[in-house]
Amino acid sequence: MSIHYDAILRVLKNYYDGLYQCDTQLLETVFHPDAHYHTTSGGEHLCYDMPDYMALIKTRIPPANAGDTYDYSISNISIAGDDTAVATLKCTMMGKHFTDFLSLIRTQNGWQIIAKVFHYDLKDE
């Protein structure tokens, strides 16, 4: 199991690095092409497939360039067998505190995020 845990940790670091830098090339390596993004924070349900999510990322000012602190924490990683895992990651950027619930699968391409469901609170609240 530790080989899976270490591989998942690398995916989560690359995930955060990709968000922090708005690096869609890196993000495309951590997300499965069929992955989806969901939230209802902010009062409406947002759902993106990967092409739409990557297009959204490309419109952002990278948090690294905006002066946001590089800081994330992993609350937990649960692994089921050799091919399924769930991780909870917390970070603050773009004026929001995020809690990301990331479902991962392992395919011939290694571990990848297949679903991102998240909540955010505004930083000032």
Structural domain count of the chain: 1
pLDDT of residue 73: 98
pLDDT of residue 125: 58
pLDDT of residue 1: 58
pLDDT of residue 2: 76
- Which residues does 42 contact at the CB level (< 8 Å), separation at least 6? 120
Query: Which residue range(s) make up the domain with 85?
Result: 2-122
The CATH number that applies at residue 102 is 3.10.450.50
Chunked into runs of 10 residues, the chain (125 residues) has average pLDDT values of: 89 98 98 97 95 97 97 97 96 96 96 98 84
Contact yes or no for 87/95 (Cβ under 8 A): no
